[in-house]
Structure 1
C-alpha cells in the first residue's frame, strides 16, 4: 500500500517541481485557497496559538498574520517539492548566506558543529549550505517518515547535494562514530519540537508560555565538545531567503547548564516576535502548557 500511494503521488510532485517559478507560485496560490478557505487545515489550532501568544493583538491583526502564515506555509511546502529538481545554481541564488566566513573560522577549530534551527522561514532549503566550499561534511538530523518510499525520496533529495540524513534515534551514535574516524561535520537540527509528556524532563518559557523542551542539541554539544550556532533565516522575497550564522558557543562543555537551550529559545523568539507569519503555527507547540509538571522534571528558565 505504501508503494502504491507513493507511485500515485510522486509523478504529480515531479511535474510540480519542474514548473517555472512563475507558474510554480500560481500553484501555491491555488493550494492556499484550498487549504485555507475550503479545507480550513488546522485553522482552529493556528488561531488558538496566535491568540495565546499575542493576546495584545486585535482580531484583525491575528487574522492578517494567520493569512500570511498560510500563504507562506503553502510556499514552503511547494519549495520542498521543488527540491526534487532544483539546480544547484538556482538553490544558491535563492538561499544565500551573509557570513559563511564565520563557519569557515569555526571549522579551523577541528570540532564538529551543531547548527540549531527552528520551524521558521525555510528549513527545507537550508541544505544549500552543502553547495559551498566548506571543509566539513553536512548532515541533517531528522525524524523518519513512516512511508518508507517517501523517506527514501527525502534522502535522495538531500543526497543530490552531498548531504546525509541521520534519524534522531541514531544521532548520538552516528556523530560519535564519525568523530572516532576523524569525520567532522556540520549537523543541522530542528530544535523546537515538542516532546511527549512521558519524555519531558525540562520545561522552559517559550513565547511567555511554560512548555516542555528537548535538550538533545545541548546534550550532544556538551558530551562531544561541539561548537554550536543558530541558523537565523529571513524571508527576503517570495522564494528567496537569507541566512545568518549566529554564535551560541565554542566551549559547550564549560557553559552553564541549559545555557545553549535558553540561548536558542531567545534567538528564535526574537524572530517570531519580529515577523510571526513565518513561524510554523500549525504544530501544537503549546499543547502541554496546562499539564502538571512531573516531579522528576526540571524548570530551566
Structure 2
C-alpha cells in the first residue's frame, strides 16, 4: 500500500516542482484557500497557540497572524517539493547566507560544528549551505512512516550533499564521526516538545514554562563542538536569508543549559518580530500543564 500511494503521489509532486515560479506560487495560493477556508487544517490548534502566547493581542490581530501563517505554511511546504528539481544556482539566489565567511574560517581551523535550527521561516532550504562549504552537512530528523517518501527525502537532501540520520541513532553516529577524517556540520531543529519521561529541563518559551529539548546542547558539550543558531528570516515570498549567530565557541566549559536558553531567546525575538513565520500548527506547548518531575531542572 505504501508503494502504491508513493507511485500515485510522486508524479504530482514532480510536476509541482517543475512549475515556473509565478505559477508555482499561484498554485500555493490556491492550496492556501483550500487549507484555510475549506479543510480548516488545525485551525483550532493554531488559534489556541496564538492566543496562549499573545494574551494581549485582540482577536482581530490573532486572525491576521493566523491567516498570514497559513499563507506562509503553504509556501514553505511547497518549497520543500520544489527542492526535487530546483537548481543550485536558484537555491543560492533565493536563500542567501549573510556571513558564510564564518564557516570558511571554521573550515580552516578544522573544527566540527553544531547548528541549532527552528521551525521558523524556511528550514528546508538551508540545504544551500551544503553547496557553499567543505563541511559534510548532517541532519538529524524523525523518520517518515512511509519508507518510500522517507527515501525521497533522503534523495532530495543528497542532491545538495546532506546526510540524514534518525533521532534514535544521532548520539551514536555523531560521536563516531569525531574519530573520522573530514569536517562535519550537524543541524538539529531544537524547538520540538520532548517526551515527558525524557524532559529533564524546563524553561520559559514565549512566556510559558515547558520542557526543552536538550539533544543539541548535550552533544555540543560532550564533544566540544562550536555551536551556532541559524537565524533564518523571510525577506519576501520565495526569498530568505540566514545568519550564523554564535551560541558558544567553548561548549565544554559553558554553563549548563546556557546554549539552549540563548537559543530560545533568539528564537523568541524572531517570533515577536514576525510571528506569522513560526510553525504554529505543531503542539509546542502541549505539556505546559503537566506536573514537573522533582528531579527535573527548572529555570
Q: Same fold (TM over 0.5)?
A: yes
The aligned length equals 299
Partner of 1:215: 214
Contact 1:118 1:268 in 2 (8 A): yes
Q: How does 1:91-102 map to 2 (within 5 A)?
A: 91-102=91-102
Residue equivalent to 1:263: 262
Q: Quote the offset at 1:103 in angstroms.
A: 1.6
Matches of residues 216-235 of structure 1 in structure 2 within 5 Å? 216-235=215-234
Residues 244-282 of structure 1 deviation map (CA, whole Å, 9 limit, x = unaligned): 111111110000111101011011001001000000000
Deviation at 1:183, TM superposition (A): 2.9
- Is structure 2 residue 141 aligned with structure 1 residue 142? yes
Q: Which residue of 2 aligns with 1:71?
A: 71
Give 1:61's aligned residue. 61
Residues 92-132 of structure 1, C-alpha deviations (whole Å, 9 max, x = no match): 11000110111222233322111110100000100000111
Match of 2:7 in 1: 7
- Taking structure 2 as the reference length, the TM-score comes to 0.98
* 1:182 Cα deviation after fit: 2.2
Task: State the partner residue of 2:192.
Answer: 193
RMSD: 0.9
Structure 2 Cα separation of the partners of residues 141 and 10 of structure 1: 24
Deviation for aligned residue 1:222: 0.4
Per-residue CA shift, 1:223-261, capped at 9, x if unaligned? 011000000111001100000111111110000111101
The residue that corresponds to 1:119 in the other structure is 119
Measured after TM superposition, the shift of residue 88 of structure 1 is 0.6
Moved more, 29-38 or 105-114: 105-114
Cα distance in structure 1, aligned partners of 2:108 and 2:191: 29
How many angstroms apart in 2 are the aligned matches of 1:173 and 1:294? 27
2:179 matches 1:180: yes
Asked if structure 2 preserves the Cα contact closer than 8 Å seen for 1:106 and 1:227, the reply is no
Q: Which runs of 4+ in 1 moved over 4 A?
A: none
Compute the displacement of 1:146 (Å). 1.0
Q: Distance in 1 between matches of 2:193 and 2:287?
A: 9
Provide the C-alpha distance between the structure 1 equivalents of 2:41 and 2:221, rounded to a whole number of angstroms. Answer: 40
Could you tell me how far 1:171 is from its partner in structure 2?
1.3
The runs of 5 or more residues in structure 1 that have no matched partner are none
Conserved in 2, the CA contact under 8 Å of 1:111 and 1:225?
no
